């Protein structure tokens, strides 16, 4: 492809992302699948520029507003060429020639704002911190309160591209062997610092060609997500429920810690995602997992099996604020339910899933959110309503919660809490017993 054609492809993707209620990565994958003629180097160039624009969306918008210019995707892309890639106006004009496979020529308004941007940088001293941090206004207050003086540092860490982490499947291999195999393939990698199964790869490989992915020896999984399995801490022979299993990533990690001994029920309300998980289980050599589609978090099946599980994981649907470095478009185009609805759903899931936990068993709650309302505050409300559960410390260095952030841990943002259900003999009063019984209903 010519340089102009790559710019035009980037523009087409930006316009499609703005117009289509689907995640940017899904739109990009579909775009390239429909255009097999685009080579790997061209795809890499287009993707790099596309995600650079998405990661600088608010700052580019600020510049365009300063120049009193309209803000369609084309204007932001042109702004990125001038501010981010420091292209001279003449070079941008040559790329936008209007020729075959090239963007349309610059109009007078575009030439005007590009001329004013010449020699400037993407950040300006007058920019508010929220703009510098690419932080949406509806999240800024809560995140400022959470991070305090470290707000800008934490948010800047969310602007970097996400790491590429693999989780070794101990049912099939060891981390040492997989590191050796990656070295043979010429890929620079090292053991993750937190996860006992994690490997961080420092080069963007053609993942579909990696033999260890094809044979189930590793799975692609952020180190933070892997750490949720350490909080679950499932043991061989136990009965475990993955209440919101999705495509089965955490289910696989849990099955490995159980050494294929015991039983895991992987549940979700989305049948398609569960069906896709079955192939992953087979490839990983996992055979102690049963999938079950739930009609809702209040499915009658739950009541029939109450008190039947040693551990129940609720990896709840959430805002996904912890994954912004991986999904930068999600900051500005939330595609799922709003926060208030999510908070209600999370509380319902916790309340319903609690019924499945046997006396002495554990309820584990996790999200990929950084918002306290979805994390610590949700747990505090649950414990106030369920006196038969107590919180167990499960964070790093004895902290109450597992709370991971990109700035501190170089992972996606993850939260997890471990709650233990007390045995009947541990409860103090008949009044407490009656309250616990009422929550079971």
- Express each pLDDT in 233-243 by its tens digit: 999 999 999 99
List pLDDT tens digits, range 4-21: 999 999 999 999 999 999
Q: Which of 49-53, 69-73, 340-344 has the lowest mean pLDDT?
A: 69-73
**Percent of the chain whose predicted confidence (pLDDT) is above 70:** 96
Domain boundary pick from 111, 127, 143: 127
CATH of the domain at 63: 1.10.940
Checking if the pLDDT of 330 tops 50, the result is yes
Whether residue 314 is found in the same domain as residue 429: yes
Q: Is residue 86 part of a domain?
A: yes
CATH of the domain at 359: 3.40.50.150
Checking if the pLDDT of 130 tops 80, the result is yes
Q: Is residue 147 part of a domain?
A: no
The partner residues of 314 in beta bridges, in order of sequence, read 365
Give me the number of domains the chain comprises.
2
Q: Is residue 213 part of a domain?
A: no
Whether residue 434 is found in the same domain as residue 297: yes
How many Å apart are CA 375 and CA 365, to the nearest integer?
9
Q: Is residue 49 part of a domain?
A: yes
Checking if the pLDDT of 435 tops 60, the result is no
Checking if the pLDDT of 433 tops 50, the result is no
Whether residue 301 is found in the same domain as residue 411: yes
Q: Is residue 43 part of a domain?
A: yes
Task: Given the residues 217, 267, 314, 368, select the one marked as catalytic.
Answer: 368
Domain boundary pick from 127, 151, 167: 127
Task: Write down the pTM of the prediction.
Answer: 0.91
How many Å apart are CA 219 and CA 78, to the nearest integer?
38
317: nearest Cα among 366, 362, 271: 366
Q: Is residue 198 part of a domain?
A: no
pLDDT at 401: 98
Mean pLDDT of 403-407: 96
Which ranges in 258-390 belong to alpha helices (H)? 271-284, 300-304, 339-354, 376-385
Mean pLDDT of 306-331: 95
Looking at residue 285, what DSSP letter applies?
Answer: T
Mean pLDDT of 87-108: 95
Mean pLDDT of the chain: 92
Q: Is there a catalytic annotation at residue 139?
A: no
Domain boundary pick from 127, 148, 174: 127
Mean pLDDT of 278-302: 92
Whether residue 400 is found in the same domain as residue 266: yes
Whether residue 116 is found in the same domain as residue 231: no
Q: Is residue 325 part of a domain?
A: yes
How many Å apart are CA 286 and CA 131, to the nearest integer?
46
Q: Is residue 134 part of a domain?
A: no
The partner residues of 367 in beta bridges, in order of sequence, read 415
Q: What is the dihedral of CA 97, 99, 101, 106, to 10 degrees?
A: 30
Checking if the pLDDT of 325 tops 60, the result is yes
How many Å apart are CA 243 and CA 298, to the nearest integer?
11
pLDDT at 207: 78
- Which residues form the domain of 406? 227-440
Whether residue 106 is found in the same domain as residue 255: no
Q: What is the dihedral of CA 392, 394, 397, 401, to 10 degrees?
A: -90
List pLDDT tens digits, range 137-189: 999 999 999 999 999 999 999 999 999 999 999 999 999 999 999 999 999 99
Residue 267 — pLDDT band, cuts 50, 70, 90? Answer: very high
Q: Enumerate residues 6+ apart whose C-beta is below 8 A from 433.
A: 424, 427
Checking if the pLDDT of 308 tops 60, the result is yes
Whether residue 238 is found in the same domain as residue 111: no
pLDDT at 203: 83
* Most confident among 265-269, 414-418, 436-440 (mean pLDDT): 414-418
């Amino acid at each position: 492809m010519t340089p102009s054609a790559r710019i035009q492809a980037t523009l087409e993707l930006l316009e499609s992302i703005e117009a289509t209620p689907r995640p940017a990565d899904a739109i990009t994958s579909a775009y390239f699948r429909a255009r097999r003629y685009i080579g790997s180097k061209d795809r890499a160039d287009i993707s790099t520029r596309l995600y650079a624009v998405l990661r600088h969306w608010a700052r580019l918008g600020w510049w365009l507003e300063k120049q009193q210019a309209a803000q369609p995707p084309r204007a932001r892309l042109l702004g990125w060429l001038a501010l981010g890639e420091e292209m001279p106006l003449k070079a941008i004009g040559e790329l936008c020639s209007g020729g075959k496979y090239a963007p349309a020529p610059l109009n007078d308004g575009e030439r005007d704002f590009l001329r004013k941007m010449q020699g400037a940088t993407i950040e300006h001293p007058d920019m508010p911190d929220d703009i510098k941090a690419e932080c949406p206004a509806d999240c800024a207050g809560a995140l400022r309160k959470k991070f305090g003086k470290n707000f800008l540092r934490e948010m800047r860490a969310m602007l970097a591209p996400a790491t590429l982490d693999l989780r070794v499947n101990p049912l099939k291999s060891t981390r040492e062997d997989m590191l050796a195999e990656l070295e043979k393939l010429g890929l620079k990698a090292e053991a993750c610092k937190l996860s006992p199964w994690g490997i961080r790869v420092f080069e963007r490989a053609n993942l579909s060609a990696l033999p260890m992915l094809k044979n189930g020896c590793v799975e692609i999984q952020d180190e933070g997500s892997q750490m949720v399995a350490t909080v679950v801490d499932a043991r061989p022979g136990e009965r475990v429920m993955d209440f919101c299993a999705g495509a089965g990533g955490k289910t696989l990690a849990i099955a490995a810690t159980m050494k294929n001994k015991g039983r895991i029920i992987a549940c979700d309300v989305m049948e398609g995602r569960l069906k896709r998980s079955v192939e992953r289980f087979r490839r990983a050599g996992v055979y102690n997992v049963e999938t079950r589609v739930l009609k809702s978090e209040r499915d009658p099946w739950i009541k029939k099996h109450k008190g039947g599980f040693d551990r129940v994981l609720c990896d709840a649907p959430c805002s996904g604020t912890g994954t912004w470095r991986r999904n930068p478009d999600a900051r500005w185009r939330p595609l799922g339910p709003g926060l208030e609805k999510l908070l209600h759903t999370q509380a319902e899931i916790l309340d319903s899933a609690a019924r499945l936990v046997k006396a002495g068993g554990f309820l584990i709650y996790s999200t990929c959110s950084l918002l306290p309302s979805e994390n610590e505050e949700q747990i505090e409300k649950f414990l106030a309503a369920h006196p038969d559960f107590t919180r167990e410390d499960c964070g790093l260095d004895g902290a109450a919660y597992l709370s991971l952030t990109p700035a501190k841990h170089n992972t996606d943002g993850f939260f997890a809490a471990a709650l233990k259900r007390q045995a009947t003999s541990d409860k103090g009063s008949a009044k407490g017993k009656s309250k616990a019984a009422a929550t079971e209903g």
